[in-house]
Amino acid sequence: MLTREEYEKTLIRMFDSMRVNDEHKGEKSCEDVPCESCPFSRMECRAANPFESIEIVEKWGKEHPLITMEDKFIEMFGHKPVDDSGYYVCPSSIGFNLDCNNSVTCKECTNKFWKMEYIPPKKGK
């Protein structure tokens, strides 16, 4: 069973994966999600039964596991994005356009980047 936090993150990921534009990206709202592509469409947007809603989101999450930037790197190159010391390499050093955030250390910034969700580029861009 998902925790509340896991449910909300998975629900947002599910909606974001189906949105027709990015205006409401990251919101728990199904705004900009075509009803015909939403798993909730048969039950009027989660209104029928909260337990059924949880089951639908949990099932979607299992069918669409979170893929991180690190996972994608490993898939493409066959190894983790680490240096000889075993630390993650800075994404900007290998071509990613990354703005450094001076409020955190390089190690924290780099770790956060490699653990964030991989979002495939939209087709036609």
Q: Is the pLDDT of residue 52 over 90?
A: no
Maximum pairwise Cα distance, the chain:
54
Does some domain include residue 123?
Answer: no
Tell me, yes or no, whether 13 and 48 share the same domain.
yes
Q: Is the pLDDT of residue 125 over 60?
A: no
How many structural domains compose the chain?
2
What is residue 66's predicted lDDT score, i.e. its pLDDT?
93
**CA-to-CA distance for 19 and 41, rounded, in angstroms?**
14
Does some domain include residue 79?
Answer: yes
- Looking at the chain, the whole-number percentage of residues with pLDDT higher than 90 is 36
Question: Of 29, 44, 63, which closes a domain?
Answer: 63
Query: What domain range is 103 assigned to?
Result: 69-115
pTM over 0.75: no
**CA-to-CA distance for 88 and 110, rounded, in angstroms?**
7
**CA-to-CA distance for 110 and 18, rounded, in angstroms?**
28
